[in-house]
Chain A
Amino acid sequence: MLRTVKPKTARTKRFFKNRESKVHENPKTALIVHSSTSSQKVNDALKDLYALKRANGIHFTKKNELRPFEDEEKLEFFSTKNDASLIVVGSHQKKRPHNLTFVRMFNHQVMEMIELGIDYSQVMSQVPGAKAAVGMKPVLVFNGELFDSNTTCQNIKNYFLDFFNGEESDAVNLNGLEYVISFTALSENKIAMRTYTVQMKKSGVKTPRVELENMGPNFDFAVRRTVAPRRELWKNAVRVPSEIKKTKTKNVEKDALGDTYGRIHVGQQNLSKIQTRKMKGLKKRSNESDEDDEVSSKKQKVDDNDEE
């Protein structure tokens, strides 16, 4: 559907190179779309989700005819055009009121879909108080044993970990933990999402006491249809390139006291074939059994000379 553009300028070339597959990937972009049928509740929810994903999000406010479960081609087109691997579609129908469909793509192909209905919502604008800064990484908390035991809940957990991940970093500023999003699996079909700002209070020790303030958005989701991650795509998506794989250092150990030990493998030693200084007289001959005889024979020779 999309014509392949051949880059003619250096700028276009850089743009396409950025969108190519790389070893270390870009942070995932989320595309938030209003469907042709969407209610006020859904619109507000989408606006808030976009606010949470500000730096890596695209918000289509105009209505688009999009039916995720029926038409995957359109999703793929949107994904390719906007380089988005996460798509959220909001719709509202009599059968499925206040519906949010969360889609995850791999290589611009639909890999996973989760449909959540909004039972109760409280938007950021409805909640008084300070809000966290834009673009911060949230702390994520998943409550409930269903997130471990139920496969659908496990997929939902993985999806939201991915959704709110943002830019991958190997260090975090200790003052940068500004807000937390918590998901609670109330039952197999009900998930509560709550967002709070984190306030660090004095505690007498280095680690601060954490207090939470309601921030919003807060949703009560009803789990509707889901499409589990497609196996082939998932297998390819989970592959780790050899550049990122950690190389194990072998034969090096650290004991309890912190000393580092190394191990050298020498191999089996054949004592009779070790290379040493060779003394011809000590060579084992087939007719003589031990060395003492040879030594004594030597001595005798000397004595004879003396006698003479």
Chain B
Amino acid sequence: MDVTEILEAHKAQFKPITVEKLVPLDFDLSLLAGFDTNALDDKRLKGTKEAYLKEMTRDNVQLVVNGIFELPVKTSDHGILAELPDRTTVLPREKPLPKEKPMTRWEKFAQTKGIQNRKRERMVWDDDRQEYVPRWGYKGGAKDGTQDWLIEVPNSVDPMTDMYQAKREEKKERVAKNAKRQKRNEEEGAAATMAGKKDVRDLKKDELQSAIAASRTATASMGKFDKALRNEQKVKGVTHQFSSNIGDAKAEKNSSMDILNKIVGKDAKVDVNKAVRMHARDSAKKNFSKSNDKKSDKKFNKKQRK
């Protein structure tokens, strides 16, 4: 057909964009990268290295560009953008994953109630000034009541009170309350993360359980002869493991011998210095008490004589 001939002629004017390669390239288009695993021509490397490298790179870049131009395209303000696919090569992060922060009291409440966070705009319309003023921050706070041109004094309050002063104090109170709550949240969060629990209530529950367990043995008889309360549960803890009386006599002998060896045997761990000190102390005590007895006898005898 005539049309194909014209098209071919048109194409022949330009250099081709197709590249012949023995081994097809691997691409990671999200990094604009192409990986060529074809064998290098050593002869050309020794001869005309720069030209060979340039030619090889040109072919590979052509293939990468072909790949990029085949990607779906979206138009934006910055021009025509090609949407890159997901990354295939694994590149390491520079910092570890962020640790999950414990939720604050409000966040927990909002989650249970299903309250969504609605972001409020920064600028608020001020009718008095007929303009937008920032709600908070620099040049803001015009609508928090402290700058009203008129504040009515209600009947319930002393007519001579300074309402502006009252408003300012209210604001101070609110700020202080907020700061206190922030501090409390921080402390609770820190305590929760230290104990390895995400929720402060879990931490407090654990603390409560251990406190209850401790209080149970806090009687004179270590909790042995106390009557259990109606709904009291057994304390979870370490139970003594007693081996049976009848059974392996050899095992029993071995364990007893082990204990004996540790105390008096070949690898007995005896702290010689401590033993010497104890002996010295005991003998000193004895001498002291001996001398004292004599003295006390004398005194006693003296008294008796008197």
Q: Residues on A close to B: CB < 8 A?
A: 20-23, 25-26, 28, 85, 104-107, 111, 137-145, 147-148, 157-158, 161-162, 165, 169-175, 177, 180, 182, 184, 186, 192, 194, 196, 198, 200-212, 214, 229, 234, 236-239, 241, 246
Segment at the A interface, from B11-19, B215-223, B264-272, B290-298: B11-19
Q: Which residue of A lies closest to B94 (CB)?
A: A85
Interface string of B58-86 (1 = CB under 8 A from A): 10111011101110011010111111101
If A170-B84, A205-B17 touch, whether A139 touches B40 (CB-CB below 8 Å) is no
A196 and B57 contacting across the interface, CB-CB below 8 Å = yes
Instruction: List 19 A–B pairs whose Cβ atoms lie within 8 Å, in order of A's numbering.
Output: A106-B96, A140-B33, A143-B36, A143-B53, A143-B60, A144-B36, A158-B89, A161-B28, A169-B84, A171-B76, A174-B80, A177-B32, A184-B40, A204-B14, A207-B70, A208-B17, A210-B61, A236-B96, A238-B93
A241 and B97 contacting across the interface, CB-CB below 8 Å = yes
Give the residues in chain A near B263, CB-CB below 8 Å.
none
B94 and A28 contacting across the interface, CB-CB below 8 Å = yes
Q: What is the CA–CA distance of A208 and B60 in the complex, to the nearest angstrom?
A: 14
Q: Which residue of A lies closest to B60 (CB)?
A: A141
Give the residues in chain B near A180, CB-CB below 8 Å.
57, 61
If A144-B36, A184-B53 touch, whether A229 touches B92 (CB-CB below 8 Å) is yes
If A21-B98, A170-B84 touch, whether A140 touches B31 (CB-CB below 8 Å) is yes
A141 and B93 contacting across the interface, CB-CB below 8 Å = no
B95 and A172 contacting across the interface, CB-CB below 8 Å = no
A143 and B91 contacting across the interface, CB-CB below 8 Å = no
Q: Which of A139, A158, A174 contacts B64 (CB 8 A)?
A: A139
A25 and B31 contacting across the interface, CB-CB below 8 Å = no
**B109 within 8 Å of A by Cβ?**
no
Q: Which residue of B lies closest to A175 (CB)?
A: B79
A139 and B81 contacting across the interface, CB-CB below 8 Å = no
If A104-B92, A145-B37, A205-B17 touch, whether A210 touches B32 (CB-CB below 8 Å) is no
A258 to B: closest C-beta gap in Å: 15
If A145-B38, A196-B54, A214-B54 touch, whether A173 touches B78 (CB-CB below 8 Å) is yes
Q: Which residue of A lies closest to B10 (CB)?
A: A204
Q: What is the CA–CA distance of A173 and B54 in the complex, to the nearest angstrom?
A: 24
B80 and A162 contacting across the interface, CB-CB below 8 Å = no
Give the residues in chain A near B37, CB-CB below 8 Å.
144-145, 147-148
**B56 within 8 Å of A by Cβ?**
yes
Give the residues in chain B near A104, CB-CB below 8 Å.
92
Chain B interface size, as a band, is 35 or more
Q: Residues on B close to A: CB < 8 A?
A: 10-11, 13-17, 28, 30-40, 45, 49, 53-54, 56-58, 60-62, 64-66, 68-70, 73-74, 76, 78-84, 86, 89-98
Give the residues in chain A near B32, CB-CB below 8 Å.
137-140, 172, 177
Q: Which residue of B lies closest to A21 (CB)?
A: B95
Q: What is the CA–CA distance of A141 and B81 in the complex, to the nearest angstrom?
A: 21
If A145-B39, A210-B65 touch, whether A21 touches B97 (CB-CB below 8 Å) is yes
Per CB-CB distance, the 8 closest pairs between chain A and chain B, nearest first, are A237-B92, A85-B94, A21-B95, A171-B81, A182-B57, A140-B33, A207-B69, A145-B37
B167 to A: closest C-beta gap in Å: 26
Give the residues in chain A near B53, CB-CB below 8 Å.
143, 182, 184, 192, 194
Residue of B61, B68, B74, B78 contacting most chain A CB atoms (<10 Å): B61
A177 and B11 contacting across the interface, CB-CB below 8 Å = no
- Beyond A142-B34, A158-B90, 7 additional pairs, beta carbon < 8 A: A104-B92, A139-B61, A140-B34, A165-B31, A174-B69, A186-B40, A241-B98
B139 to A: closest C-beta gap in Å: 15
B11 and A172 contacting across the interface, CB-CB below 8 Å = no
B91 and A210 contacting across the interface, CB-CB below 8 Å = no
Q: Which of A138, A139, A143, A204 contacts B56 (CB 8 A)?
A: A143
Residue of B64, B89, B94 contacting most chain A CB atoms (<10 Å): B94
A109 to B: closest C-beta gap in Å: 10
Give the residues in chain A near B45, CB-CB below 8 Å.
186
Q: Which residue of B lies closest to A242 (CB)?
A: B97
Q: What is the CA–CA distance of A275 and B94 in the complex, to the nearest angstrom?
A: 60
Q: What is the CA–CA distance of A111 and B94 in the complex, to the nearest angstrom?
A: 10
